[in-house]
Amino acid sequence: MAVQRMEKKIYTRSISMKQKRAKQYRKQIHQYVSTFRFKTPIQCIVDDNVILECEKTKFDVIKAISRTVQTEVKLMITQCCINHLYETRNQPAIEIAKQMEKRRCNHKETLSSKECISSIVNIDGKNKHRYLVVSQDERLRQAMRTVPGVPLIYMKRSVMIMEPMSPVSEKVVQETEARKLSAGLNDPTAGIQKQEQEPSEPAPKKRKGPKGPNPLSVKKAKKQTDVAEETQEKKKRRRSHKKTTTEDGSDHEN
């Protein structure tokens, strides 16, 4: 019984830690979205070291990264990292890499994972393309901590761990929040709801129906032949009425 209680306690503690980590990771991703303008799917650069480690322990790296980030992701690998995998001749690891989107690094010679990934993530001191970096290389993660807004993930004892925000990233978040607060305090209309406009008079209703006269009440236009016949008939009637009376009392036509 004591052993069972101990196992249950350890299991409960493990579930609690997973929930706590998941909550913390959601909060971090939200900060990267709101402050550093990350968009879904989150672009994740995965190095060859993580793939080799996950293949060795039979760990599904693709599903693990998705569970850790807790949102839609796009897994990517650079050509240099793929070349390193080909050098190992580890076919299962190569097959895992093939499931990811290839990210062109445009390096003529194969660079180390650290040099290659650093060159595409750190653009003039900024994470211009908003990459999340998944790497087992401590030197690479250390270099990425100096760049604001770079989420970092690594594998530890068959668990994907997302590092806490680096100090430089935390500083940017605090400065951004301070600017928002300052803007709200300096705005005299902040917190004041705008008065609702009084309802204006309703617009006159449009008259329905045909705009022109009723087509049934309009006389049909006469044809040209009918007009000519009617004109000749009128002339005949006028001639028959134009008569003058002579001295003998008889009527004559003029």
Residue 192's pLDDT is 42
pLDDT in tens, 196-235: 444 455 566 666 655 666 666 655 555 555 656 666 666 6
Q: Is it the case that residue 63 has pLDDT exceeding 80?
A: yes
Residues 6+ apart with CB under 8 A from 33: 39
Q: Which of 49, 48, 101, 47 is nearest to 75 (CA)?
A: 101
Q: Which of 122, 124, 120, 102 is nearest to 48 (CA)?
A: 102
* 75, 65 contact by CB (below 8 A): yes
What pTM does this model have? 0.67
Residue 201's pLDDT is 55
Q: Is it the case that residue 147 has pLDDT exceeding 70?
A: yes
Residues 6+ apart with CB under 8 A from 32: 38, 130, 149, 151
pLDDT band at 117 (very low <50, low <70, confident <90, very high): very high
Q: Is it the case that residue 254 has pLDDT exceeding 50?
A: no
Kindly report which listed range (120-129, 157-166, 191-200, 227-236) carries the lowest average pLDDT score.
191-200
Which sequence spans correspond to the domains of the chain?
Answer: 14-172
Q: Which of 137, 101, 141, 138 is nearest to 121 (CA)?
A: 141
Backbone torsions φ then ψ of 184, nearest 5 degrees: -70, -40
Between CA 92 and CA 97 the distance in angstroms is 9
Q: What is the mean pLDDT of the chain?
A: 81
The rounded percent of the chain whose pLDDT value lies above 70 is 67
Run of H or E including 68: helix 61-69
DSSP state of 158: T
Residue 190's pLDDT is 44
Highest mean pLDDT range out of 13-17, 60-64, 188-192, 226-230?
60-64
What's the CATH fold of domain 14-172?
Rossmann fold (3.40.50)
3-state secondary structure of 75: strand
pLDDT band at 99 (very low <50, low <70, confident <90, very high): very high
